[in-house]
Amino acid sequence: MKQIKRYEGKKVLVLGLAKSGTNAAKLLKRLGAEVTVSDVQPLDQNKDAQELEQAGFKVILGSQAPELLDAGYDLMVKNPGISYDVPIVKKALALKLPIITEMELTGEVADAELVAVTGSNGKTTTTTMIQKMLDHDRQAGHARYAGNIGVPASMVAQELTPEDTLVLEVSSFMLVGTTEFHPHIAVLTNIFSNHLDYHKTRANYVAAKMKITANQTADDYFVVNFDNPEWRELSTHSAAKVVLFTRQDQSEDGAYEREGVLYFRGEEIMAAADIKVPGDHNVENALAAIAVAKIKGVSTAAIVSVLKSFGGVRHRTQFVLEAEGRQYYNDSKATDMEATEMALKGFKAPVVLLAGGLDRGYTFEKMVPSFKDHVKAIILFGQTAKLLEDTAKQAGIPTIRLTENVETAVPLAYELSEPGDIVLLSPANASWDQYPNFEVRGDRFIKAVEQLTGKQEEK
């Protein structure tokens, strides 16, 4: 870890705990700051606050009123999930109080080379592929991943040496709160119109994403998806060397797919069909990872080994197991229609789909084409079950069942499937009507599959 001095004696307010805020607070204290933490959750329900209070931190819980700032802070470190619209943050902006996120701290203290991945879709899978490729047959140090992938970046950053590489999944929420963040290799997987409730406009969202390359120089690399004119144009705003990836064969100056084969600058890497995780979107993720790996001098053999064995990130079109000719996949992370449509497109075999969840007030007519093309039977649960049933009927799906939850859906899926079929949990909805989060929903699916088949998930 780099020993930086800028926070010594500074009075810092950490706003919002969870993994990000808790680890940022610990790092700031280690760097000599006077740290106060604030969180809305009461102490008896807040393990993070309990831990920090026992460690001697000043902890303020409950309402995060703007008056908290009257104590006179030098800096606010904001949990990325807290909107810039909340009163205390608006007051901080009015006072011109610097506001950063944990990712800025990570970049400052990490004594290792940084690779950062952002985008609307594919971040987690791409980050994991890159980490595995950079760590494969590595002679010195390790490649670690952290950030939005669920591992606190500021915690990992303290453990690194100059021989290591830190591969960071970085969300737009994290990037907004950066000023000097400077990865050696930055990756932009794609940009759609996400999180506009937070960013207010698409222009703001795009600007947040582009902060990943804002401090790069001609000695750095910006790996960009070239399959959209907007993304190609965005690459011209970076001072870094641009390395492209493309499924549409836009250029040979990077990683690309041509006639079902993946290449890097003319060198054949492997057949796209040999990537273990299914779907065109995972071909794109693989191409982005190939570009980074080749920049870092990773061998083709190591790249191929990773892509042929990597079964997917947990809860993201994750291969669970095969039993009696049926392949079971956990895509619980598919909390919107687009994610489920993408998952369905990844399979050529007939799909028995498990879907449903939190009702956010929209309908599902746009899913009719993908239902028609891929789904032989559908099992529905949760608040949106009836809405999805209407869509399934429009799509002409012959077999539609409603059930209580994910656990009861699994044995039904077995009954409705036959050897050669895919059984896919891809809900197209958030989980909060029945489960605390998508991870719990996916874990319950896996457990139900294991109980049904008598087999264990493949690791």
The answer to whether the annotation marks 121 as part of a ligand binding site is yes
The answer to whether the annotation marks 420 as part of a ligand binding site is no
426, 355 contact by CB (below 8 A)? yes
Which two structure tokens, joined as six digits, stand for 309?
């064995």
* CA-derived radius of gyration, the chain: 23
The answer to whether the annotation marks 122 as part of a ligand binding site is yes
Q: What is the DSSP letter of 181?
A: -
Which two structure tokens, joined as six digits, stand for 118?
């952002």
What does the DSSP assignment read for 24-67?
HHHHHHHTT-EEEEEESS-GGG-HHHHHHHHTT-EEEES---GG
The answer to whether the annotation marks 225 as part of a ligand binding site is no
The answer to whether the annotation marks 123 as part of a ligand binding site is yes
What does the DSSP assignment read for 123-170?
HHHHHHHHHHHHHTT-SSS-EEEEETTSS-HHHHHTT--TT-EEEEE-
Residues in contact with 228: Cβ distance below 8 Å, sequence separation at least 6, in sequence order: 190, 191
425, 442 contact by CB (below 8 A)? yes
Please provide the distance, in angstroms rounded to a whole number, between the alpha carbons at the two ends of the chain. 32
Residues contributing to the annotated binding site for ATP:
119-125
Residues contributing to the annotated binding site:
119-125
